[in-house]
Structure 1
Amino acid sequence: MNVSTASSTLSKSEQVYQRLRERIIDGRYTPGYRLILSSLAEEFKVSTVPVREAVRWLEAEGFVTYTHNIGAQVSGVDLSEYSNSMETLAILEAAATGLSAPHLTEGDLRECEKLNEEMIRLVESSNFDPHAYRRLNGHFHSRLCVACPNARVLSLMTAEAERVNIIRRSSLVFQEGWASESVQHHTHILDLIRSGAPRSELEYFVREHKLASLRFSLKEFPPHVITTEDSAP
């Protein structure tokens, strides 16, 4: 796959960076996956120079870890960083939802209800699909924030949500036990918006909803995706 044909406005390093980042985000590259520069250079039909630069950018963002004698690997789960990201996301998503709520239409709310109904069907199914649930859950919360007039808050929220979703996809921490409680929270959030509840009340509940998800996740992380530093006694 020749990256130079993908975009005439991006450098080769930027194109490789985008491709690698997409693969980490969508779960094709899971924690511990080795990024072998020569193999990637051959795949993308570039020299190792832009690949090395792209990997350095990913390392600076925390997506990749470089270890002596091993090389570059997709980062594992640092529980401290994950907690920080979730707490940050709780604050940002609550603010974005509170700012967005007065501008949401009945059509927006009905769409959120449909998404939550699909999640409820998944929860009640005998074959729960956590991947499908996470996708619907992401759409639900994004739709609630769609009318937020503060673009900076939305940008920061999206960046944190992306980082959190990488961890969730790679570790499968978002399981049915939390999902059954989460859909009830969603219903209450919609009720608060429809009733015109004070912004402070809505933001408080959205924030607590996200923090409850964090508390559940911390109990469910499988050991194989946790970084050595966090698994040490």
Structure 2
Amino acid sequence: MADTAAAGDRALSKSETVYRQLRERILSGRYSAGYRLVLDRLAREFTVSAVPVREAVRRLEAEGLVTFTQNVGAEVTGIDTADYTDTMQVLAYLEGAATALAAPLLDTARLDEAAALNERMRALYGADFDPVRFTELNERFHRLLCAPCPNGHLLELLDREWQRMALIRRSTFSFVPARPAASLDEHEHILALLRGGAPAEEIERTTRAHILRTMEAYLEAGRRP
């Protein structure tokens, strides 16, 4: 029994090692969209069996970084630009409206929590930047500000679009490395408007513009040679 447990620990360690290295290569752009992850070849490269490689690739698939296609296998997930653009535009307008409606109901505790999330994102933005984690915290920030919105139907629509964006790709910040810093500053501006009781129209307009700037940064990056 002990030998079996020890073997399991070793296998887990190998899987974790492969997972972290593959993830870093994808997020850094070394493995770009469409790059095929051939399990046998990766197993030889990492000097492991195919099992930990398969486990690592499955984790990456769950994160939306890898896609399995029949008769093709595992490959790095790309982004459908048209779908991404449509979804971001919808998110911009829905979030703008939801944040403006939620503004009178946002208490100090919730705003402080949002500010703390923004600081956690800022701490991530450095040499060891993790765009997937950054994106997760970014979504939590926006959900937190929208949550008190009294229009339940609007929140349902917004949740559906957040889920759609997660299916397109969990993170786009790896493609626009200069965008996170500006995004964090824009978060602070939105929080200042909310704390200061700014007009609903200004809150809605500022939130919408903030989201559209991320979309525009991604599209601009895609146009570069």
Band of TM-score, shorter chain: 0.5 to 0.7
**Alignment partners' CA distance in 1, 2:187 and 2:176:** 16
Q: How does 1:1-233 map to 2 (within 5 A)?
A: 26-27=62-63, 30-31=66-67, 33-34=68-69, 77-123=79-125, 125-169=126-170, 173=174, 175-221=176-222
Q: TM-score, normalised by structure 2?
A: 0.65
Code of the residue aligned with 1:34 in structure 2: it is T
Code of the residue aligned with 1:193 in structure 2: it is L
Cα distance, 1:77 vs structure 2: 3.0
User: What is aligned with 1:67?
Assistant: none
Q: TM-score, normalised by structure 1?
A: 0.63
Kindly indicate whether the alpha-carbon contact (under 8 Å) linking 2:77 and 2:169 is maintained by their aligned counterparts in 1: no
Gaps of 5+ in 1: 1-22, 37-69, 223-233
Matched pairs, number: 165
3-state SS of paired residue (1:148): coil
* Residue 26 to residue 139, structure 1, CA distance change in 2 (3 Å): farther
**Alignment partners' CA distance in 1, 2:118 and 2:69:** 37
Cα distance, 1:176 vs structure 2: 3.0
**Alignment partners' CA distance in 2, 1:186 and 1:174:** 20
**Alignment partners' CA distance in 2, 1:197 and 1:132:** 31
Cα distance, 1:25 vs structure 2: 8.5
**Alignment partners' CA distance in 2, 1:171 and 1:198:** 31
Code of the residue aligned with 2:100 in structure 1: it is G
User: What's the % identity of the aligned pairs?
Assistant: 37
* Residue 192 to residue 207, structure 1, CA distance change in 2 (3 Å): same
Deviating beyond 6 angstroms after TM superposition, the runs of 4 or more aligned structure 1 residues are none
Cα distance, 1:211 vs structure 2: 0.3
Code of the residue aligned with 1:82 in structure 2: it is Y
